[in-house]
Chains A and B, each alone.
Chain A
Amino acid sequence: MNHMWKRATALLLTLVMAVALLAGCSGKQETAGGGDGKSLKIGYCLPLTGAYADFGNEVKDTTELYLKDINYKVGDITIVPVWIDTQGDPEAGTKAYEQAVVQDGIQMSMYCQFSSVAVAVMEVAAKYGIPHVCSTGATALVNEKWQSDEKYHVWLKAYPSPDKLSVAYAEVINEAVESGIWTPKQMKYFSFGEDTDWGRSFSAAVGDSFAAKGWEVVGEDYFKAGETDFYAMLNKVKASGATVLAGNINSAPSAAALLKQAREVNLEALIVVDALSEDGRFYEMAGAASDYALDSRAMYSGDEGKALEKRLTETYNYPSSPAGGCFTWDHMAWAMGLIELVASKNETVDSATIYKTIQEEVWTGKYVRDDLYSVPCLKYSEANLPDPEVGTDAFIFPVMQFFGGEPTVVYPDTMKTDDLKIPDYMK
Chain B
Amino acid sequence: MNDLIAKKNGYAALKLGLGKVGLSPLSLAGFIILFLAPFYITNNYLLRVLVSAVYFGTLGMGFDLSVGYIGVANWGYAGLTGLGAYVSALLLVNFGVSPAIGIPVAAIVSGLMGMLIGLLTLRMNPVFTSIVAWFFGLMLQSLCTSLPNLTRGSLGLTVPQLYESPWPKPYFLTIVAIAFVVYIALNIVVNSRLGLAFRALGQDYEAARTSGVYPVKYKLLNFSISCMIAGLCGAFYAHFIGIITPDLMATKHIITILVMTYIGGRGSIWGPLVASLILTPLLESMNSLLEFKYIIYGLLLIAVMIYYPGGLAKLFYTCVDKVKALLAKGKAKETATK
Contacting A at CB under 8 A, from B276-291, are 278, 281-282, 284-288, 290-291
Q: Does A144 contact B (CB under 8 A)?
A: yes
Q: Does A197 contact B (CB under 8 A)?
A: yes
The total number of A-B Cβ pairs within 8 Å is: 109
Across the interface, name the chain A residue whose C-beta is closest to B166: A127
Contacting B at CB under 8 A, from A199-215, are 199-201
Instruction: Flag if B156 contacts A116 (CB, 8 Å).
Output: yes
With a CB–CB cut-off of 8 A, which chain B residues contact A328?
A: none
Instruction: Flag if A13 contacts B285 (CB, 8 Å).
Output: no
Q: Does B40 contact A (CB under 8 A)?
A: no
Instruction: Flag if A200 contacts B290 (CB, 8 Å).
Output: no
Instruction: Flag if B52 contacts A91 (CB, 8 Å).
Output: yes
Q: Please report the total number of A residues contacting B with Cβ < 8 Å.
A: 46
Q: Does B243 contact A (CB under 8 A)?
A: yes
B 265-276 binary contact with A (CB < 8 Å = 1; else 0): 000000000000
- Cα(A141)–Cα(B156), bound, Å: 8
Instruction: Flag if A21 contacts B282 (CB, 8 Å).
Output: yes
B 301-318 binary contact with A (CB < 8 Å = 1; else 0): 001000100000000000
How far does the Cβ of A33 sit from chain B's closest Cβ, in whole Å? 13
Q: Does A163 contact B (CB under 8 A)?
A: no
From B158, B166, B288, B300, A126 is in contact (CB under 8 Å) with B166
Q: Does B169 contact A (CB under 8 A)?
A: no
Bin chain B's interface residue count: 35 or more
How far does the Cβ of A266 sit from chain B's closest Cβ, in whole Å? 29
B 115-145 binary contact with A (CB < 8 Å = 1; else 0): 0000000000000000000000000000001
Instruction: Flag if A10 contacts B43 (CB, 8 Å).
Output: no
Q: Does B167 contact A (CB under 8 A)?
A: yes
How far does the Cβ of B146 sit from chain A's closest Cβ, in whole Å? 8
Instruction: Flag if A98 contacts B278 (CB, 8 Å).
Output: no
With a CB–CB cut-off of 8 A, which chain B residues contact A120?
A: 241-243
- Interchain residue pairs A-B with the least CB separation, the first 4: A24-B285, A102-B45, A127-B166, A116-B156
Q: What is A's interface to B at a CB cutoff of 8 Å?
A: 6, 9-10, 13, 16-17, 20-21, 23-25, 30, 48-49, 53, 83, 85, 89-91, 94-96, 98-99, 101-103, 115-116, 119-120, 123-124, 126-127, 139, 141, 144-145, 195-197, 199-201
Can you spell out 25 A-B residue pairs with CB atoms less than 8 angstroms apart?
A6-B307, A10-B307, A13-B300, A17-B282, A24-B284, A24-B285, A24-B286, A30-B44, A49-B291, A53-B291, A95-B45, A95-B48, A95-B52, A98-B45, A99-B45, A103-B43, A116-B156, A123-B161, A123-B166, A141-B158, A195-B153, A195-B154, A197-B154, A200-B153, A200-B155
